[in-house]
Amino acid sequence: MRRIILWLGAVVFLAVFFFLPLSKILILGIGQGGLGKILQPAWQIVIPVLGFTIYQALLSTILTLLVGLPGAYLFSHYDFLGKKWFKALTGVPFMLPTVVVAAGFNALLGNRGLLNVSLMNWFGFENPPIIFINTLGAILLAHVFYNTTIVLRLVGNTWERLDPRLEQSVQVLGASPWEVFKKVTLPLLTPSILASSMLVFLFDFTSFGVIILMGGPHFATLEVAIYIQSLQLLNLPMAAFLSIVQLISTLIFSIIYSRMMSKGSVISRQTVNPQRRLHTWRSRLLAWLVLGFFILLFILPMLALPIRSVLQFDPALGVRASQPIRITLDYYRELFINRTGSIFFIPPIQALMNSIKYSLMTVAISLLLSFPVAYSLARPRKLDRILDPLLLLPLGSSAVSLGLGYIITFNHPPLNLLISPWIVPLAHSTIAMPFVIRSLQPVLASIPDEYRMAASVLGAPPINAWLKVTWPFASKAALASGIFAFTISLGEFGATSLLARPENPTIPLAIYRFISQPGAMNYGQAMAMATILMVATTISILLFEKIQLPGNKVF
Which residues are near another protein by CB under 8 A? 448, 450-451, 453-462, 464-465, 468-469, 472-473, 554-555
Q: Max alpha carbon distance in the chain (Å)?
A: 82
Helix (H) or strand (E) segment spanning residue 460: none
Of 83 and 452, the one with the shorter C-beta distance to another protein is 452
Q: How far is the CB of 454 from another protein (least distance, A)?
A: 4
- d(C-alpha 217, C-alpha 235), whole Å: 18
Shortest Cβ 460–another protein spacing (Å)? 5
DSSP lists the bridge partners of residue 78 as 276
- By C-beta, is 341 or 459 nearer to another protein? 459
- The nearest distance, CB 329 to another protein, in angstroms, is 45
Q: Which amino acid is at 41?
A: P
Q: How far is the CB of 241 from another protein (least distance, A)?
A: 51
Encode 399-427: b = buried (16+ Cβ within 10 Å), e = exposed. bbbbbbbbbbbbeeeeeebeeeeebbbbb
Nearer to another protein, 357 or 476 (CB): 476
DSSP-derived 3-state class of residue 276? strand
Which of 422, 555 has the CB closer to another protein?
A: 555
DSSP letters along 287-337, please?
HHHHHHHHIIIIIHHHHHHHHHHTEE--SSTTT-S-SPPEE--HHHHHTT-
What is the dihedral sign for C-alpha 262, 264, 265, 266? Answer: positive
Nearer to another protein among residue 346 and residue 455 (C-beta): 455
Q: Which residues contact 49 (CB under 8 A, 6 or more apart)?
A: 220, 221, 222, 225, 242
Long-range contacts of 179-185 (CB under 8 A, 24+ apart): none
Helices (H), 78-113: 83-91, 98-109
Cβ closer to another protein: 438 or 468?
A: 468
Cβ within 8 Å of residue 387, ≥6 positions away: 7, 11
- Contact between 394 and 38 (Cβ < 8 Å): no
CB of 81 or CB of 457, closer to another protein: 457
- Least gap, CB of 452 to another protein (angstroms): 9
What is the closest distance, in whole angstroms, from the C-beta atom of residue 459 to another protein in the complex? 5
What three-state secondary structure class fits 418? coil
* Least CB distance to another protein at residue 453 (A): 5
The C-alpha atoms of residue 432 and residue 481 are separated, in whole angstroms, by 9
Q: How far apart are CA 44 and CA 316, in angstroms?
A: 44
Residue 465 CA to residue 484 CA, distance in Å, equals: 27
Shortest distance, CB of residue 473 to another protein, whole angstroms? 8
Q: How far is the CB of 471 from another protein (least distance, A)?
A: 10
- 326, β-bridge pairs: 312
Residue 382 CB, shortest distance to another protein, in Å, is 13
Residue closer to another protein by CB (options 43, 555) is 555
Q: Which is nearer to another protein, 282 or 382 (CB)?
A: 382
CB of 551 to another protein, least distance (A): 13
* Residue closer to another protein, measured from CB, 368 or 453: 453
In degrees, rounded to 5, the angle at the alpha carbon of residue 353 between the alpha carbons of residues 349 and 354 is 115
452 versus 501: smaller Cβ distance to another protein:
452
